[in-house]
Structure 1
Amino acid sequence: MFIGIGTVANVVTVAAGAVIGRLLGDRIPARTSSTITDVLGLITLVLGVGSALSMSSAALTEAVGPGAPMLIVLGSLLFGAVVGSALRVEERLEWGATWLRTRFAPTGDAGTFVDAIVTPTLLFCVGPLTILGSMSDGLGRGADQLLVKSVLDGFAAIAFASTLGWGVVFSAVAVGIVQGSLTLAAFLLGDLFSAAQIDALTATGGVLLMALGVRLLKLKNIPVGDLLPALVFAPILVVLVQVIR
C-alpha cells in the first residue's frame, strides 16, 4: 500500500463501473434506467442531509459559537453563488463537456453527454468522503475511507452510465484530479484544515449534494457547478469568525 492508493482505486472503479454500465445499458429497460436514476437522486439527498448535519458538530460549534455554523454555511453558499455565477462555472463545465462530446462522441444527444460528465463528477467529488478520505490518505493514516468510497462510486457509475452514456467515464479523470490534489496537499502541508473547517466543508458539501439530488430527480435544474466556489469560502469563513470572535 502507498499514499494515493485510495485515489487510484477510486479512479479504476469509476472507469470500470462506467464501462460495465454502458455495456449493460442497452439491456436495461428505459423504465428501469429511469427508476435507477431516481433512486440515485434519493440517495444523494439522504447523503446530503447527513453531511449537512455536520454544521451542528461539537468541533464547529466550539470553534465559532452555537449560532455561527448555519451562517457560515449560508454565507459560503451565497458568496460561492456570486463568484460561481460571475465566473460562469456551470457554463464552462458544460462547454468543456460539450467539447469532449464533439471530440469523442460526435453522435447522440449533447445535453445527455454533458449531464453524463457533470452529474457524476459533482457526486463523486463533492461528498465528505472525498475530503476526509483524501486527507487521511495524504497524512498516512490509511486509505480505508477512500476504498469504501471507491466501492460506492463504482456501483453508482454503473447506474449512471447505463442511463447517461459513455460520458460518465470522463468523471474518473475529475476524481483523479480532485482527490489526487487533496491527497498531495495533505501530504505536503500536513494538517491542512482544523476539525471545525472540515465540518464546515462537509456541511456545505452536503447542501450541494442535496441540490444535486434535486437535479437528479428533475425537480429543478439547480446550477450546482456555480455553487462549487462555496467549498473554498467555507474554511475561510470559519477562520474569519474565529478571529472576530
Structure 2
Amino acid sequence: MLIGPFVNGAAVLIGGLVGAFFGDRIPERLRIALPLTFGLSSMGLGIALIVKIHSLPVVVLSLILGAAIGELIYLERRIGMLGNLAKGIANRFSADDGKLDPAVFTEKFVAILVLFCASGTGIIGAMTEGMTHDANILFVKSIMDIFTAAIFATVLGYAVALIAVPQLIIQLCIASAAVLILPHTTPEMMGDFTAAGGFIMLATGFRIAGIKSFPVGNLLPALVLVMPISHLWTLFIH
C-alpha cells in the first residue's frame, strides 16, 4: 500500500492551513528570510541532482524542446489560472481581503506549485516507493514541505493548502506507473531524467529567492521528453 504520497499531501495541507491561520502573527523577518532559505535549498537540491547527469546534450535538448512546447501551449499561464482558481475557492472559506496583487500571487503560486508537485525529490520518491515500497524519500520531503507550505501560506493564504490535491494525484499516478516504467529504463535514462529535474529545481530556486523569474512551469514537458530522447541518443549516437 502506498503511504508516502498521503503523508506528503497531509504535510502540505497541514502546513498551508497553519500558515494561513497564523498569517500576520508570524514575524515579518521570518516570512522574508525563510523563502530565501527555501530558494537556496531548492538550488542546492537541483545541483545535487544535476551531477547525476549521463548526457548533457540530451538534457539540454529536452529542456529546450520542453520549454518550446510549454511556451506554445501557454502551460505556465494555465498553471497560473489553476492557482487563481484555488485562490477563489480558498477565499470562500476565509476572510482574505485579496490584498495581494493578482500578478504577484500568480508569480509565487506557480513557483511553489512546481516546487511541491514537480520537484525531482517528489517524482523520484514516488517512483522509488512504487518500485520498492520504500517511502523514506517522500517522508523527508514531507518534513521540508510542512514548513515550506506554512511560510508561503502566510503570504498566499489558504490556496497553498489546496496544492495538496494535485500533488497527491501526481505522486499516486507516478508511483502506480513506476512498476510499468522502471523495468524499461536504464541507469543512463534515469540519470538524465534526474538531471532534468535538477535543472528545473535550480530554476525554481532562483525564482523563489527572487533572483530571476524563470518560467519554470513551461519547462515541465522536458520531464516527459528526456527519457525517450536519452534512449534514442544512446541507441543511435552512443
TM above 0.5, yes or no, is yes
Do residues 184 (structure 1) and 182 (structure 2) align? no
Alignment partners' CA distance in 2, 1:188 and 1:152: 29
Matched to 1:105, the amino acid is: N
1:11 corresponds to which residue? 9
Q: CA deviation at 1:27?
A: 1.0
1:94 corresponds to which residue? 80
Residue 28 and residue 162 in structure 1: after superposition, are their counterparts in 2 closer, same or farther (change >3 A)? same
Matched to 1:73, the amino acid is: V
Matched to 2:6, the amino acid is: V
Alignment map for 1:51-90 (pairs within 5 Å): 51-55=49-53, 60=54, 69-90=55-76
Superposed CA RMSD in Å reads 1.9
Structure 2, gaps ≥5 residues long: none
Do residues 163 (structure 1) and 155 (structure 2) align? yes
1:26 corresponds to which residue? 24
Alignment map for 1:209-228 (pairs within 5 Å): 209-228=201-220
Structure 1, gaps ≥5 residues long: 61-68
Alignment partners' CA distance in 2, 1:201 and 1:160: 28
Q: CA deviation at 1:190?
A: 5.6
- How does the TM-score come out when normalised to structure 2? 0.89
Alignment partners' CA distance in 2, 1:145 and 1:173: 19
- How does the TM-score come out when normalised to structure 1? 0.87
- 8 Å CA contact retained: 2:203, 2:214: yes
Listed one character per residue, the Cα deviations across residues 76-125 of structure 1 (whole Å, up to 9, x for unaligned) are 11001111100110011112222332344274122344345422221123
Q: CA deviation at 1:73?
A: 1.1
Residue 6 and residue 13 in structure 1: after superposition, are their counterparts in 2 closer, same or farther (change >3 A)? same
Q: CA deviation at 1:181?
A: 0.6
Alignment partners' CA distance in 1, 2:83 and 2:137: 29
- 8 Å CA contact retained: 1:139, 1:186: yes
Q: CA deviation at 1:188?
A: 4.8
Aligned residues: 231
- 8 Å CA contact retained: 1:14, 1:153: yes
Q: CA deviation at 1:192?
A: 5.1
- 8 Å CA contact retained: 2:111, 2:216: no
The 3-state SS of whatever aligns with 1:222 is: coil
